[in-house]
Amino acid sequence: MGVRWSDSAFLFLETGVSGAMYLAYEYARRGACLALVERREQRLRIVAECARELGAADVIAIRADVSNVDDCKLVVDETMNRYGCLFTVDHLVNNAGVNQVCMLEEVDDITDLRPVMDINFWGSVYTTQFAAPHLRNSKGKIIALSSSASWLPKPRMSLYNASKAAMAQFFETLRVEFAPDVKITLVTPGFIESELTQGKFLTEGGKVVVDQEMRDVSFSPSICCFSISYGSLSIMPVAAAEACAKAIVNSACRGDRYVTHPAWFSVTFLWKVFCPEVMDLFFRLLYNPRPGVSLEETLSKQILDLTGSQKVLYPGNIQTPEQKTD
């Protein structure tokens, strides 16, 4: 089971996706106190109740938007008001995210894509700044949910990739600034089952849609189990969210600097370092449509359609379009 807490684990979670729920549940099984954050109130209540049933010592559910600096301050204040006199704040988990799925030249109004940086990057900055003094006092830990997208040049995800790279470098720098008081675990997962692996996207117009066809066209090894990041899968296998959550919590408790799940996905970083031209060619061939050809006719999509490999590569629960878009 691993570490159990008598202290509080401060979890800053977008719990509306399956991965974030599994992460909250993993902490709950270890007896932690949880501060759960989500903009969808009904979803938040469900996750909070399940966490209590799984053994969480206490749960506070806070409805908030991490892209709003005032909301982030309110979350930290409410958490400290609830736990500050009794416990220490052990873990801050930054994981909220959103993604565009379009070529940059396809965007009519680039300002529609501001939420990508506001949520993915600035949301983490806000919460970390407000929580920092409490984490220093408790010698706590920060778990930063970045993505392998921080080094992979995936088409139609330029802003998402940039936001995750910015997030990774931000926390790499804070590791130096906060040492030795606060340890930071940088998480860069591959494909994990979640709402986004079911095909939930943010379009270039800023609208949330569910489209499994687009999911299968593109490629997104984003932190799909721990955010509301809307990406796509293509021909890559998808790992179980529960196993990913356990790997992250175990790594954070050990004080690991990095964790990638599935572990084999770390190889893609070596591709980026030692053969970037090959990686670029790989993405162009599989995920860029030929001129005058629709996105549904990319090579990656054709492979899925011809082989029916979704049934092997994707868990059954991400092969349904029944997803919430509120």
Name beta bridge partners: 185: 143
Helix 69-83 to helix 123-138 angle (10° resolution) is 20
Distance, CA of 99 to CA of 324 (rounded, Å)? 16
Distance, CA of 310 to CA of 176 (rounded, Å)? 42
Tokens linked to 193: 């089952």
Distance, CA of 292 to CA of 279 (rounded, Å)? 24
3-state helix vs strand vs coil in the chain, percent to 5:
50, 15, 40
Q: Answer whether 144's CB lies under 8 Å from 184's CB.
A: yes
Q: Which residues are catalytic?
A: 160
CA dihedral sign, ordered 230, 21, 96, 269: negative
Sheet holding 91-94, edge to edge: 91-94, 141-145, 183-187, 258-259
Distance, CA of 319 to CA of 316 (rounded, Å)? 5
Cβ neighbors of 224 (< 8 A, separation 6 or more) are 17, 19, 189, 191, 192, 193, 194, 196, 197, 231
| Cα atoms in the Cβ-side hemisphere of radius 13 Å centred on 89 | 29
Distance, CA of 84 to CA of 82 (rounded, Å)? 6
